[in-house]
Amino acid sequence: MDHPSRLGRALGALAGLVLFVGVYLGLVLAPPDAVQGQVQRIMYLHVPSIVTAYLAFTVTCVASVLYLWKRDLAYDAVAVSSAEIGVVLTGVTLATGCIWGKATWGVWWTWDARLTLTAILFTIYAGYLMLRAFAEEPQAAARYGAVLAILGFLDIPMNHMAVQWWRTLHQPSSILRPGGPSMDPVMLGTLVVNLAGLVLLYTYLLLKRIRLERARHRAVALRLQRGRRG
Amino acid sequence: MMAEVLRRTWAMTWKDVTVELRARERVTAMLFFAALVLFIFNFALGPDRERLAEVAPGLLWLAFLFTGMLGLGRSFQAERENECFEELLLTPGDRESIYFGKLAGNVLFMCMAEAMILPLFGILYNLDIWRHIPALALIAFLGTVGFSTIGTLLAAMTAHLRAREVMLPLLLLPLTVPIVLGSVRATDAILGGGGLADVSHWVKLLVGFDVVFLVACPLAFEFVLEE
C-alpha cells in the first residue's frame, strides 16, 4: 500500500500546483472580458467543473458496466467514488452558474437549457447516491447502482435534446464550434490549465476515495467473519 | 421461441389483471387520486379560466404522471407483501417475460386512468379537447410507455428498499424529464389547434425514448431481480 499512496501524494501535489497556477492565470494574468468584464473570470472554474463532472459520470458508467460483467466489487468502488466527485463538481457548476447569472442576467436562476440540463444531471446522480445509501447490503447497492448509472447515462443525450428544443438562452459554446475557438489565446490557455488542474484533482480524489471504499469493504468482511466465529 | 415469450408475458399480465379485477385496489385508488389532483389544482390556481387554459397541458400531465406513479409503486406490492418474489423468479423462461408482463399491466392501468382523467379534465377546465382526442391519445400512449418502461424497472428495484415510497419518485422523475417535456409541449401545441405534423419532433423524441428504454430496461431487469 506504500507505493500507491506515494503516487497519490505526488498527484495531489501536482494538482495543487496546477490549480494554483490556474487561479493566478484566471484572476491576474488573463484580461477581463471585453463585454462582460471581471465576472467572466468565473468561467475558469465553471467550464472545467462541468467538463470534469461529465468525465466522472462517464467513468461511473464504464465501471458500472464492468461491475455487472465481472462482479468484482473493486469496479463498484470506482463507480461510486467517481459519481460522488461528479455530484460535487456538478454542484460547483450550478453554484458558479447562479453567481454568474445574477451578475450577467440579473437573476440567480433562469430555465436556460444548459443550466437546466446540469440541474437534471445533479438530481439523477444525487438519486444514485441516495439509492445506494438505502440498499441493505453492498452487493445489492452495487447492482442497483450500476443499473441506475447506466440508465442515467443513456438518458443524458435525450435530456439534452429535449431541453435544447425547449429553450436556449445560454451563450453559445465558444470553443467547440465549427471554425475553431474564437477566444483570446491567453484566456484559452487559462481555461486549459484550469481544466488540467481539475482533472488532476479529480484523479487524486478518486484514488483516495477508492481506497476508502475498499477499506470499508474489508471492514464489513471482517465484521462478518468475527460475527460468524463468536 | 417468440410465441413462448409472448405467452409467458401474457400470463404475467393476466395474473396482475385478474388480481386487479378481484381486488379493484389499484385502479380505483388511481382514479380517485387523479380526480382529487384536478380539483386541488383548481383550488391552487384560482378559477380564472384563461390562466387555467394556459397551464392546462402541464396540469394534465402532472395528473397523469402522479397517478401513474401511484400505480407503479404498487406494481410489485402483492409479491412483496406475500413474500413471493422467489416464486416469481422461479417461473420458467427468461426474466424478460416477467418485465414485459409487468410493464404491459402498468401501461394498461395507467391508460385506463388516463382515459377517465381526460374527459374529466375537459369538463372541469372547460377545454375543447374532443376534436383532438386521437392526437392526444397518441401522445398520451407514447408518454405512458416511456414513463412505465423506466418506472417498472425502478419499481422492481425500490421494492426491496427501506424507503421505497420516497425513492421511486426521486429516481423516476429526473430520468423521465424528456417524456415530461415532450408530452407537455406536444399536448400544448395540439390543444392550441396544431396537428401532429407540427409536433413531429416531439413525437420522434418520445418514440426514440420509448425504443431506447424498451431495449435497455429488460436487459437491466435481469440484474435487478437477481437474488
Q: Which of A125, A154, A167 to mutate to test the interface with B (most CBs of B within 10 A)?
A: A154
8 A C-beta contact, residue A178 and residue A54? no
pLDDT band at B63 (very low <50, low <70, confident <90, very high): very high
- The CA–CA distances, whole Å, from A23 to A15, A89, A92, A100, B219 equal 12, 17, 16, 17, 46
Percent of chain B topping pLDDT 90: 45
The C-alpha cell 497519490 sits at: A8
State the average pLDDT for chain B. 89
CB-CB contact of B217 with B154 (8 Å): no
Write out the three cell numbers for B131.
376534436
Min distance A126 CA to chain B CA atoms (Å):
9
Query: How far from chain centre, in Å, is Cα B123?
Result: 23
Amino acid at A10: A
Alpha carbons A12 and A48: distance in angstroms, whole number? 18
pLDDT for res A206 = 95
Residue A79 pLDDT > 50: yes
A-chain CB neighbours of B209 within 8 Å are: 158
Measured N-to-C along each axis, helices B95-124 and B133-158 cross at an angle, to the nearest 10 degrees, of 130
Q: Mark which residues 181-210 of B lie under 8 Å from A by CB.
A: 181-182, 185, 201-202, 205, 208-209
Q: Mention every residue, 6+ apart, whose C-beta is less than 8 A from residue A50.
A: A89, A90, A93, A118
Alpha-carbon gap, residue B113 to B131, rounded angstroms: 20
Q: What is the pLDDT of residues A137-192, one digit of tens each?
A: 888 899 999 999 999 999 998 888 888 887 754 555 555 555 555 678 888 889 99
Task: Name, of A92-96, B17-21, B78-82, the range with top average pLDDT.
Answer: A92-96
- The answer for residues whose C-beta is within 8 angstroms of residue B187's C-beta and 6 or more apart is B57, B60, B61, B136, B139
Inter-chain residue contact A162 with B181, CB threshold 8 Å: yes
Kindly provide the ipTM of the predicted complex, given to two decimals: 0.88
Q: Give me the residue from A134, A155, A165 closest to B162, CB to CB.
A: A134
Residues of B in contact with A158 (CB under 8 A): 178, 205, 208-209, 212
Q: For chain B, which residues make up each domain, given as ranges?
A: 2-225
pLDDT band at A50 (very low <50, low <70, confident <90, very high): very high
Instruction: Annotate B26-44 with b (16+ C-beta within 10 A) or e (fewer).
Output: bbeebbebbbebbeebeee
Which segments of A53-171 are extended strands (E)?
none
Report yes or no: B177 at the A interface, CB cutoff 8 Å.
Answer: yes
A vs B: CB pairs below 8 A: 79
How buried is A217 (Cβ within 10 angstroms: 0-12 exposed, 13-18 middle, 19+ buried)? Answer: middle
Instruction: Select from B155, B113, B141 the least CA-distant residue to B20.
Output: B113
Chain A, nearest residue to B179 by Cα:
A162
Cross-chain Cβ contact A130/B181 below 8 Å: no
Residue A152 near chain B (CB below 8 Å): yes
CA distances from B196 to A155, A159, B146, B186, B189 (A): 25, 22, 19, 8, 9
- Measured CA to CA in angstroms, residue B212 lies from A113, A186, B137 at distances of 23, 43, 21
| Chain A residues within an 8 Å CB radius of B217 | 151
| Phi, psi angle pair for A40, to nearest 5° | -60, -20
Contacting residues of A for B181, CB less than 8 Å apart: 162-163, 165-166
Q: Provide the angle, in degrees to the nearest 10, between the axes of the packed helices B177-191 and B49-73.
A: 140
User: Strand ranges (DSSP E) for chain A?
Assistant: none
What are B27-57's pLDDT values in tens digits?
Answer: 888 989 988 988 888 888 877 878 888 888 9
